[in-house]
Structure 1
Amino acid sequence: MSDRTAVVDKRRSQAIAGGVAGALVFAVLVVVFFVVRSGGDEQPSATSAATTSSAAPVEPAPVGSSAPAAASGSLPAELSKEPDVQPGTGGPLTKLVVTELVKGAGPVVKSGQTVTFNYKLIPYKGGSVMDSSWSRHQPFTSPIGVGSLIQGWDQGIPGQKVGSRIQLDVPAALAYKDQDLRFVVDILAAQ
């Protein structure tokens, strides 16, 4: 075998190895993206709960129409409009803070119920939207208070009324452990 053939074979082997390494790096990045996006081995995020729920999604209805909350009255008109979520001040958060933005008139949500929500999530200190049912044009349905969602939701949503829009300022310890979060959550129905 000539020196030239050996050099060509070596370069070909290096090119193939580089291509395989690049493909492996890409695969690892895709896996990491989906693990981080879904909360890893932590409790599932609202997004993953939406994809695993067997209940049909529910769109917010205008005032006066039939809606999931119809048994308790109509949903407030504010819940038909996507919220503008502003960053928090101060921090880091040391406890869960629940702020009622729109007062609901429906029944009180209880742990163990299946609840339909719209939500929008940003980092507490600000930044781009991390997740939103509004961007998918589809609310999601999940059991509440049973460990299916992050602790901040399981602790902050029971006791609220259907038809409410609430702001949940969730410390990292009650979320995904990496940062404080701010959610604006519309409670559309509870069963």
Structure 2
Amino acid sequence: MTTRRRLDPDERRRVLLDAGATLFAERAYDEVLMEHVAAAAGVSRALLYRHFPTKRDLFAGVYQLAADRLLVATEFDAASPLSEQLAAGLDAHFDYFEANSNTVVTANRVLAGDPTIQAIITGELGELRRRLLDSMGVEGSTRETTSAVLMSWLTFVRILTIDWLENHAFSRTELREISIGALLGALEPILGDRRPNLR
């Protein structure tokens, strides 16, 4: 007879988040019930509710974990042309968005007004902006202007990607090219010849 190893709270939380992530990716938000998550994780509903009192709390935990993983997967190399850095970062995000479209649409449509979800999105965008600014090596007033452009661009890409997930009006390649072209075009008047690796 085999006995199950008792998981510590962090391990148990990770099992619950993984189960939630799978279900939120497979189904629309309203179709995911907490009892489904408990069953998928092999725990009682009472235990699930001890870790996550509401479905929104569980979803927020799933989305925070996804944002953390995406940031790990999105590193920028200042030695590479900016367009190559952007392409790699966008591909990492598009991979996740495509594989987890229900989760992404939930965060950006169904729970768009939820302050916790918005804080996760804002935090991720802010960190991506900081990394890009550091990679580009801009300072002073140029950094301030570039920072504003980058935040606007990151928001633009997120909205465009949600539209792509919902409507498929253009290809993923076109999505990448539109996104990169939009930023390079916006940066050209600011940076000009000062960044030879812009493209």
With normalisation by structure 2, the TM-score equals 0.29
| CA radius of gyration, larger in | 1
Q: Which one has a larger percent strand, Structure 1 or Structure 2?
A: 1
With normalisation by structure 1, the TM-score equals 0.29
